[in-house]
Structures are given as C-alpha cells and as structure tokens.
A and B are shown apart, each in its own frame.
Chain A
Amino acid sequence: MHALKRYFATFCLVLTALTLSGCIATRSGQLSISPETAVKAVYYVEQSPKDGRNLSATIASRMEARGLKASAGPAGSTDATYVVTYVDHWAWDMRMYLLDMRIELRGAKDRSIVGFGDSRQSSLAAMGKSYADVIDTALDELFKKK
C-alpha cells in the first residue's frame, strides 16, 4: 500500500512536470526613448516580405489603439520618425498558432535600434488568444513603463 502511494506520488510529479512544461509564455522588451518621445513620434510598420496575414496592418492598428500615430505598408523610405519591423514564427498543434512575435523599433534614417518587444507562447498558453492578442503583448513589452 505504501509502495502504491509512492508510485502514485511519483506519477503525479512526472505528469505535473510534463503538463507544466507545455504551458509556457515568456515576454521581454526594452525601449530607450522616453514615453513623451514615444507618444509624439510617427511610426511606419514595414510589411515583412514573408507575411501572408497582413500582420503589419494589425500592428499599426494596435499601435493606433494605444494613441500612437502609425501606418503600415511595404518596406521603403518613409517620413516617419521610427520604423517598426517584426518577425513572426508560427507552429502547428491541432491548428496554426503564433508561437513567437518579435517587434523592433528603429530610427527611420539610420536603422539604429531604439526598442524591442517579444511575446512567445506554447500551444497551450496560446489557446484562446488571437494573433492580435499576441501582438498586443509584444507591444506591451515594447512600450512598458520603466
């Protein structure tokens, strides 16, 4: 009986470890400009050539929802203050989900980096989230208050 309890306890430990390790969401981000500068700036979201979901438009609309002046379009010269680029990684697990979204902010003239925001989530953690939610998380990290 005692041995059975020990087996059961070990089994529960392993099951917990396996299920918890599948429910991972991490986020990170930095911004080197002040909140005042960020609010006044004009942003241009460059569409990634491999983006078939028009994520650039979604990023621009989510930035506008935060009160920022943002537009989206193909890569090229712009009058904006900062250029927004992004890298999206997708994975399959019963459905396609956005595994990782990294958004970077760079000076429009010299492409020097001023900030980045990243949101990564496993399949379980991504359940119920749209890719707009994931973009919002990455933008939260980029523009978070220090």
Chain B
Amino acid sequence: MKKPWPAASKLLALVAIFALGGCAVGNRYDYTGSISGLPISGTDQVALEVVDARPYVMSGEKKPDFIGLQRGGFGNPFNVRTASGRPMAAEMHDAIATALQKQGLAVVGAKDLAPRKMELRVADWKTDAMVYFELRWDLTLEVYDDHGVLLAKSASSGKEEQGAGFQSQNSQNAARYFEMKFTELVRDESVRKAFLPATK
C-alpha cells in the first residue's frame, strides 16, 4: 500500500506554491488621473461619453469593474478590478474629463448639448499578467458636432506584451498604456482638426 505523503512535505509544497504565486489575488488598477495631457485644447464645452462595449461585460460574464487577469504560479487566473470599485468605463471617463479640463475644455454630460461630443467606445480592454504583461485593446474615438454630425473618427486595436511585475508596477503600466492608446487616438489628424476653432 502506498504511504500517504507526510504532512511536512505537503506543508513545504504549499510554501513553494505561495512563493511562486506571489500576490495574484485581489489586484486593483487605477485609471482615474491616468492622463496628464492631450494634444488638443480649447475653451468650449465637450459632451463626453465612454461606452463599455466589451462583450464579456455586456453578457454579464464579467462585472463592469473588471479590468483583466493576474495569474498565480500555475497560471490560475484571478480577476483584476478597478481601484475605486466603480466601472472601468467610469474611471476612464474621469481620466479623460480631467485631461480635457486641463486643456481648457469644459466637460459636460453625455446627453448635454455642447459644440462637440466625444465618445470613446471600448470594444476590448483586457490586461493579463503573469510572467508577461499582455494587453488586448479595441478602442474607437468619435467626435460629433452639436447637430450629431460625425466630424472625426479614429480607431486602434491590437495585442501587446511586456514584462510583468507586482501589482503597483502592473497598475502603473496599465494606466500608462491607457494614456498612450487614448492619446494616440486624439493625436489623429481628423480629431485634432475637429477641435480647431476654424471648423466650428
């Protein structure tokens, strides 16, 4: 009859698992305040909306505060959520609104009438961290005038991989990636032109 594995060996194995797993549980990333500057400016009002169109959120499989995954030592996934507990779209909205206000624009609600409306549609935004930090994204930015006419559209999607770290580093990287991806959308020629005074 095979002898059961001694308790001491099981305990040592558990220690190894936790040493390899690190701090995978309960990670939170913060997107509010993640954007320091944008390549547009103005003095008018902008109606801002961020739409969470991630299929796994819309289906209810994941909650709106879901950001991505942090994996343990054996690749077992744990959900990463927003630091505030609010929906990811809300944190992204706050980051964009703060940045627009820094550039002189006054941000109003999505349904309010304004010379410009800016809508960011998030069809995908998912981080996956273990040994590598992977980001999958699919973002579309549209700018409308006060009659609902589409003035500009820019889109970006893809998948990237970088080295992963612990929660604080991954959180900072996630915020920087969002700042970079959103800034690239705004840097689009048609988007910048939509905010120039001459186009009004």
User: A residues near B, CB below 8 A?
Assistant: 3, 6-7, 10-11, 13-14, 17-18, 21, 24, 26-30, 32, 100, 102, 104, 106-107, 110-116, 118, 120
By size class, the interface of chain B is: 35 or more
CB<8 Å pairs between A and B, sample of 23:
A7-B6, A7-B9, A10-B13, A11-B12, A14-B13, A14-B15, A14-B16, A18-B16, A21-B20, A21-B22, A28-B133, A28-B163, A30-B176, A30-B177, A30-B180, A32-B183, A32-B184, A107-B37, A111-B37, A112-B36, A113-B35, A113-B179, A118-B173
Tell me how far the C-beta of B31 lies from the nearest C-beta in chain A, rounded to whole angstroms.
14
Chain A residues closer than 8 Å to B16, beta-carbon distance: 10, 13-14, 17-18
In the assembly, what is the distance between CA of A109 and CA of B160, in Å?
Answer: 29
Chain B residues closer than 8 Å to A114, beta-carbon distance: 183
* A112-B163 in contact (CB<8A): no
If A21-B19, A118-B173, A120-B165 touch, whether A112 touches B38 (CB-CB below 8 Å) is: yes
In the assembly, what is the distance between CA of A13 and CA of B15, in Å?
Answer: 10
If A10-B13, A14-B19 touch, whether A26 touches B36 (CB-CB below 8 Å) is: no
Query: Would you list which residues of chain B between 177 and 200 have a CB under 8 Å from chain A?
Result: 177, 179-180, 183-184, 186-187
* A112-B176 in contact (CB<8A): no
In the assembly, what is the distance between CA of A112 and CA of B12, in Å?
Answer: 50
Tell me how far the C-beta of B99 lies from the nearest C-beta in chain A, rounded to whole angstroms.
9
Q: Is B84 an interface residue (CB 8 A)?
A: no
In the assembly, what is the distance between CA of A118 and CA of B37, in Å?
Answer: 20
Q: Is B172 an interface residue (CB 8 A)?
A: yes
Tell me how far the C-beta of B134 lies from the nearest C-beta in chain A, rounded to whole angstroms.
11
* B163-A113 in contact (CB<8A): no
Cβ proximity bits B112-136 to A, threshold 8 Å, 1 near / 0 not: 0000000000000000000001000
Of the residues A10, A17, A29, contact of B162 by C-beta under 8 Å: A29
Query: Would you list which residues of chain B between 1 and 27 have a CB under 8 Å from chain A?
Result: 3, 5-6, 8-9, 12-13, 15-16, 19-20, 22
* B165-A110 in contact (CB<8A): no
Chain A residues closer than 8 Å to B3, beta-carbon distance: 3
* B39-A107 in contact (CB<8A): yes
Of the residues A30, A110, A118, contact of B103 by C-beta under 8 Å: A110
Tell me how far the C-beta of A13 lies from the nearest C-beta in chain B, rounded to whole angstroms.
5
Q: Is B151 an interface residue (CB 8 A)?
A: no
Chain A residues closer than 8 Å to B36, beta-carbon distance: 106, 111-113
Chain A residues closer than 8 Å to B19, beta-carbon distance: 14, 17-18, 21
Chain B: CB-nearest residue to A119: B163
* A112-B37 in contact (CB<8A): yes
